[in-house]
Amino acid sequence: MIENYDIRLPRWMDPELNEIGRLYPANVQYVLNKDPLSTATITLNAEDPQPNVGQFVELYDVGGSIGVFRVEGKTSTFSNGGIVKISLEHALTTLSDGAVFGYQEFGGAGVNLRNVITTLLQMQPKQMWVLGDCEFETYFQYSFENDNLLTAIISLAEPLEDEYLWEFDTDAYPFILHLRHAPTADASEMRMNRNIHSVKIEIDKTELCTQIYPLGYGEGVNQLTIADANNGVKYLNADTQDVWGVVRTVYAETSVTDAATLKAMAETVLEKTKNPKITVTIDGAEIYEATGEPLDKFYVGRMCRVPLPDYGITIDERVLTIQKSDVYNDNQRCKLTLSNRMSDSVETLAIISRKSAINELYSQGSTCMYSQQYADNASAEYPASMRFYIPAECVHINQVELTWSFAAFRAYETGAAAGGASTSTSSASGESTQTSSAGGATTVTTEQQSFNTTGYAGTPLTQYGRDPMQFTGLPSNDDGTSLKNSTDSGGSHSHNVLAHNHSFSDSYSLSWGHRHTVSQTGLDNGVTGGVDDYASKTISISGMTGSSTATASTAGSHTHGMNHRHDFVHVHDVSFLVTIPEIEVNIPSHRHTVNIPAHTHGVTIGDHTHPIQYGIYTGSSASGYTLKVDGTAVPSTAIVANRVDVTPYLAKTEAGKITRSTWHEVEIVPDGLTRVEMNLFVRTFVRSISGGNF
């Protein structure tokens, strides 16, 4: 039954925050914590409507809403009457539905805290929270691996030097998350015989620390310390050592890979632990609704002043928790916890849980050593150069040691292939006159020799202007006068031709046309075939002249044409003997004078190669050298028996760390032609946060 105050009933909502109805609880109790998560419990009768796990409930107190909570569990008990207890956590618990999977880094140079929080909030499976105010402008570097999203976000405030408050606005949706400075002014006051029933003060020196040694990522000598961010000193001192003495503590936060971030977190822890923990538990009453006085209202995270004049004590500490055990039936009754420590058991458990998860899911890394070899010829002009790469995964580099030795220069051939045409011309020179001495007299005699041979004698004769190589010419007398072209008339007569025939077959090439005419009884005054024009033609004639015939009658007076010629080409074979008589030549003594003028010689060398002659050739060995590391000469005093730690000479960042994700170079410059053999050993701490599993 609700007494004294008009307090709204809890509002029941589905997972989408749509209102389902109101609950009628038998009891509502809550614990509001400065650091998440606040919790509450609702007791219902078994027969009343009940929210299911995953649904939401908004709770109220006298002043209004105290926030939206999610149902995390239900416990039913049946005896004389059934009751159901509903376990609730603040709606911020929805962030725990998300996770930072794998290894991821956030923040650092140029990336502020607001950006980091916003990035993490984007990893929610369902966007229920957005960032509102972020009053801290810091640039710490954070790293998470397989972390719960809620734990990761809450841990972002751990390195903050100033006191802070996480505050929430659940009146809007998506809900709004704020990170603000914690007020330092007193917001509440409690006094005996007014609103305090009892006060319990506890002083606990268990967690006292006045000197802290922070350790980050890694192990052994490779574990991160704050030396790089604290002038080479690996610890921090509290300003309360004069009161409590030196009390040392090792603080390990193995998810931190940045020295500055580790230092900031250690400073926060030291500030919390430099004095004994004081816990004040007050059993009192919230009487604000009755008095209207602002100091009578309590706020989580605000300062509360508790003067105890009878005991000479005044407590001025921050409110960590406000607890009410019966909101509707005994609303004023409450219990407050004040402390000089910002964190409470909830935050501590979250940190322990996160560290345990890290230890279970991945190792910090491992120390390893790898080597690199080099062997090659070198000279003063061409030094021996060995380049090696240092990846970003080398978290710590313990040592880079170099050893080397010299051997005789070595080659594997004694002749080299060559080629290339060229023209070489000497300069004008060499003018001289050379005269041989008297001498050279000699007699040379050859024997008589005879040769038998054959050939053609003379040439074809030409008569009367005609070339007998072509034809014999027209009929002519011996004196050259032309004969008649035909016979004299023979008078009337007949011819008896005996039975005979002529077979013929031949072909001729004629240079000009001609025709044979036959005028004879019985032959039809036929005309033999011939050529009518004077073009060169070839004529083939074959056949049979036929059987015997006789003229039918006495022919009249007639003549026979005689105009014709015969081709006549001939030579005479001649055999003859040639005799060369014996010849004797006498060469008297003499001398030769040769004048050689100034001249040049042009020589052209064509493309060519020289075959390689394989074999092992050894030469000299260096007696002196200069060692350079990333361009810096190493002093001879640092070298012992051709062995040196080159770590101090490697290129470094402004922070003094050896540069990663880049190439480094070791160079030996000998004083002559030699063979150089080098070995490089790198001892480093490596973590496996990249690549795959192959």
Can you tell me the distance from the alpha carbon of 363 to that of 145, in angstroms, rounded to the nearest whole number?
Answer: 11
Can you tell me the distance from the alpha carbon of 165 to that of 194, in angstroms, rounded to the nearest whole number?
Answer: 29
- Give the least confident one: 194-198, 238-242, 635-639, 681-685: 681-685
Residues 202/207/211/217 CA torsion (nearest 10 deg): -150
Tokens of 348: 């501590």
Residues 6+ apart with CB under 8 A from 442: 587
| Residue 278: per-residue pLDDT | 87
The pLDDT confidence band at residue 357, using thresholds 50, 70 and 90, is very low
Give the helix/strand (H/E) hosting 120.
helix 113-121
DSSP string covering 33-72: ESSS--EEEEEEETTS--PPTT-EEEEEETTEEEEEEEEE
Mean pLDDT computed over 65-73: 96
Residue 326: how many other CB atoms lie within 10 Å: 14
Can you tell me the distance from the alpha carbon of 608 to that of 626, in angstroms, rounded to the nearest whole number?
Answer: 41
Q: Which residue has the higher pLDDT, 497 or 615?
A: 615
Residue 651: what are its φ and ψ, rounded to 5°? Answer: -60, 140
| Residue 271: per-residue pLDDT | 85
| Residue 526: per-residue pLDDT | 55
- Cis bond leading into 174, ω under 30°? yes
Q: Which residue has the higher pLDDT, 198 or 257?
A: 198
Can you tell me the distance from the alpha carbon of 349 to that of 298, in angstroms, rounded to the nearest whole number?
Answer: 26
Using alpha carbons, select from 398, 219, 366, 368 the residue that is nearest to residue 687. 366
Can you tell me the distance from the alpha carbon of 347 to that of 468, in angstroms, rounded to the nearest whole number?
Answer: 142
- Give the least confident one: 282-291, 435-444, 463-472, 668-677: 463-472
Residue 321: how many other CB atoms lie within 10 Å: 21
Q: Which residue has the higher pLDDT, 560 or 19?
A: 19
| Cβ atoms of residues 85 and 74 within 8 Å | yes
| Residue 416: per-residue pLDDT | 57
| Residue 679: per-residue pLDDT | 94
Q: What digits encode the pLDDT tens for the residues 136-165?
A: 999 888 888 899 999 999 989 988 878 899
Can you tell me the distance from the alpha carbon of 69 to that of 86, in angstroms, rounded to the nearest whole number?
Answer: 11
Can you tell me the distance from the alpha carbon of 17 to that of 293, in angstroms, rounded to the nearest whole number?
Answer: 35
| Residue 381: per-residue pLDDT | 93
Using alpha carbons, select from 341, 342, 339 the residue that is nearest to residue 306. 339
| Residue 343: per-residue pLDDT | 54
Can you tell me the distance from the alpha carbon of 342 to that of 320, in angstroms, rounded to the nearest whole number?
Answer: 7
The pLDDT confidence band at residue 684, using thresholds 50, 70 and 90, is confident
Res 354 pLDDT > 70: no
Query: Helix/strand/coil (H, E, C) string of 640-692?
Result: CCCEEECHHHCCECCCCCECCCEEEEEEEEECCCEEEEEEEEEEEEECCCCCC
| Residue 579: per-residue pLDDT | 78
Res 365 pLDDT > 90: no
The pLDDT confidence band at residue 583, using thresholds 50, 70 and 90, is confident
Mean pLDDT computed over 494-519: 56
| Residue 609: per-residue pLDDT | 75
Determine the distance from the C-alpha atom of residue 426 to the mean position of all C-alpha atoms in its chain, rounded to a whole number.
Answer: 56
Whole-number CA gyration radius for the chain: 64
Res 384 pLDDT > 70: yes
- The secondary structure of the chain in percent helix, strand, coil, rounded to multiples of 5, reads 10, 45, 45
Determine the distance from the C-alpha atom of residue 310 to the mean position of all C-alpha atoms in its chain, rounded to a whole number.
Answer: 77
| Residue 148: per-residue pLDDT | 92
Can you tell me the distance from the alpha carbon of 332 to that of 650, in angstroms, rounded to the nearest whole number?
Answer: 70
Average pLDDT along the chain = 80
Residue 137: how many other CB atoms lie within 10 Å: 8
Residue 260 identity: A
| Residue 350: per-residue pLDDT | 44
Residue 422: how many other CB atoms lie within 10 Å: 9
Whose structure tokens read 């580790």? Answer: 262
The pLDDT confidence band at residue 691, using thresholds 50, 70 and 90, is low
Helices (H), 187-291: 241-244, 259-273, 288-291
Res 115 pLDDT > 50: yes
| Residue 149: per-residue pLDDT | 95
Mean pLDDT computed over 609-629: 85
Which residues are paired to 144 by β-bridges?
Answer: 104
| Residue 388: per-residue pLDDT | 92
Can you tell me the distance from the alpha carbon of 590 to that of 438, in angstroms, rounded to the nearest whole number?
Answer: 5
The pLDDT confidence band at residue 503, using thresholds 50, 70 and 90, is low
The greatest distance separating any two alpha carbons of the chain, rounded to the nearest whole angstrom, comes to 202
Can you tell me the distance from the alpha carbon of 572 to that of 460, in angstroms, rounded to the nearest whole number?
Answer: 9
Res 553 pLDDT > 90: no
Can you tell me the distance from the alpha carbon of 245 to that of 239, in angstroms, rounded to the nearest whole number?
Answer: 10
pTM tops 0.85: no
Mean pLDDT computed over 677-683: 91
Can you tell me the distance from the alpha carbon of 516 to that of 532, in angstroms, rounded to the nearest whole number?
Answer: 11
Using alpha carbons, select from 281, 286, 282, 295 the residue that is nearest to residue 330. 286
Residue 69: how many other CB atoms lie within 10 Å: 26
Can you tell me the distance from the alpha carbon of 441 to that of 266, in angstroms, rounded to the nearest whole number?
Answer: 120
Can you tell me the distance from the alpha carbon of 115 to that of 612, in angstroms, rounded to the nearest whole number?
Answer: 68
Mean pLDDT computed over 124-131: 96
Using alpha carbons, select from 422, 424, 421, 423 the residue that is nearest to residue 607. 421
| Cβ atoms of residues 666 and 386 within 8 Å | yes
